[in-house]
Amino acid sequence: MKDTIKNALILFVITLVAGALLGIVYEVTKEPIRQQKEIAEQKANQEVFPGAEFTDFAGFDSAAAAAVLAGHEEYAKVTIDSVKVAQVSGADAGYVIQITSMGYGDNITFTLGLTNDGLVGGISLISINETPGLGMNAGKVLVPQFDDVPVPADQFSVIKTTDNLTETIDAISGATITSRAVTNGVNAGLEYYEQILKEVS
């Protein structure tokens, strides 16, 4: 009985100390992690809208964004995280939409730049953790395909063979799920633009 109580007390103390240490580590690392995330987001914004300055879009509402995507099966694993207005030389030039889409192994977060004159300025990956050698090739295979292309009349679609059409995206070899996740995210951003942002542009 004494041994049981003793072991329970030891376990309690270990758990208490471990919990306290985890709390300390969290508090110490919380601010640096936040700063690194902010830097990564700023860099991604600049990559899709070089030379612009950014302000939060005052009309952004996460519930309204979710409502826009609701009912579309292909957007079931996509969220619109934030929207910023891009200004060049003091004039509104377009928007940067931050999007998260579920890939093969984890969430993929990226920015989408849209200009007021109907161009996709590009996408920039903020966070991706897909299969090495396959989905992790998104940066060099998928990202360049969205650089300065016209907004499609309908949607971008993923194909497995090259056809050189601007509205089709060549899939990463062996990583169709990742390719569709990114493309669905872009299409979700375009849907949000059509339903919400176009009204105020």
Mind giving me the DSSP string for 24-66?
HHHHHHHHHHHHHHHHHHHHHHHHHSTT-EEEE-TT--HHHHH
pLDDT of residue 132: 94
pTM to 2 decimal places: 0.81
Closest listed residue to residue 172, CA positions, set 159, 163, 184: 159
pLDDT of residue 96: 97
What is the helix (H) or strand (E) element at residue 199, kind and residue range? helix 198-200
Residue with tokens 């985890």: 22
Q: Measured on CA atoms in the order 101, 183, 88, 197, is the torsion positive or negative?
A: negative
Q: Determine the Cα–Cα distance for residues 134 and 50; give it in Å rounded to an integer.
A: 29
How far apart, in Å, are the Cα atoms of 92 and each of 1, 14, 67, 82, 150? 74, 57, 26, 17, 19
pLDDT of residue 85: 96
Q: Determine the Cα–Cα distance for residues 112 and 129; give it in Å rounded to an integer.
A: 19
Helices then strands, counting H and E runs in the chain, come out as: 5, 8
Q: Determine the Cα–Cα distance for residues 24 and 28; give it in Å rounded to an integer.
A: 6
pLDDT of residue 29: 66
Cα angle 30, 36, 37; round to 5: 90
**pLDDT averaged over 10-residue windows placed end to end, the chain, 201 residues:** 71 77 68 68 90 93 95 94 94 96 95 93 95 95 94 88 75 94 97 88 65
Domain ranges of the chain: 47-200
